[in-house]
Amino acid sequence: MSNFGAYKEALQLRLVNTIWDDEQLRSDFFSDPKKVLAAEGVIDLPDALHVEVLQEKDEVFRFVVPVSPPMDEAWVRYEQMASWYLFAVGWWWWMTREGRPQAAEKLRNGIQVAIIGKIWKDPAYREWILKDPKAALSSETGLTFPSSLAVEPLEDTPQLMHLVVPRRPTENAWANEANDVGAIFVAAHTWWWWLSGLRLAGPSPGTVSGWVS
């Protein structure tokens, strides 16, 4: 099963909520994530793909650098990532309301296009985000990240996929930094990638609806 939408994302939310409360399931997920994902109805991943599970943690932003899709799948994969647009517009509205329209515009453009699009299409940017992810993200989003924050790039390959398990919102220190937009972005991104990253792991749907372009 690889078609994603509200139902699949609801299953992912249920899974992470259970992981928080059920020590046995948590242990099972960290030791054999593919088996748990299949059993929970989220996705069946290929046998050849190794999945490494990590926990979100304070002081470290674990940023997954996704695999670049084949050129003939590019638009389909962009459409699968279209929730970037809604995510970006929400941030744009909030930052504009706070009197930061120039930074807001850069954030919207950066989140929607540069972070994913540049990683996929710009080898130099991909190399930069792997070598100095904090500077690369700051440049494209217009945000300043906390000085105490380390950014750890996790590079996916066709044989390796990283999953970062989000912490409970009440336990996430960055989510409490309400006056620091960079800190809030860090807290929100791990959640977004938990819901969106698995979309890229399944077979290409093969068609584009047209609205994304």
Domain that residue 28 falls in: 6-201
- pLDDT value at residue 113: 47
Q: Is residue 77 included in any domain, yes or no?
A: yes
- pTM of the full predicted structure? 0.79
Q: Is residue 206 included in any domain, yes or no?
A: no
Which of 117 and 190 is assigned the larger pLDDT?
Answer: 190
Q: Is residue 208 included in any domain, yes or no?
A: no
Q: Is residue 213 included in any domain, yes or no?
A: no
- pLDDT value at residue 213: 37
Q: Which sign, positive or negative, has the C-alpha torsion 23, 15, 2, 159?
A: negative
- Eight-class DSSP state of 157: B
Q: Is residue 210 included in any domain, yes or no?
A: no
Structure-token match 């995510």, residue found: 87
Distance from C-alpha of 75 to C-alpha of 213, rounded to nearest angstrom: 8
Distance from C-alpha of 108 to C-alpha of 39, rounded to nearest angstrom: 37
Which of 141 and 97 is assigned the larger pLDDT?
Answer: 141
> What domain count does the chain have?
1
> In the beta sheet, which residues pair with residue 51?
161
Q: Is residue 211 included in any domain, yes or no?
A: no
DSSP string, 107-125: HHHIIIIIIIIIHHH-HHH
Q: Is residue 55 included in any domain, yes or no?
A: yes
Q: Is residue 52 included in any domain, yes or no?
A: yes
24-62 pLDDT per residue, tens:
999 999 999 999 999 999 999 999 999 999 999 888 999
CATH of the domain at 71: 3.90.330
Q: What is the mean pLDDT of the chain?
A: 79
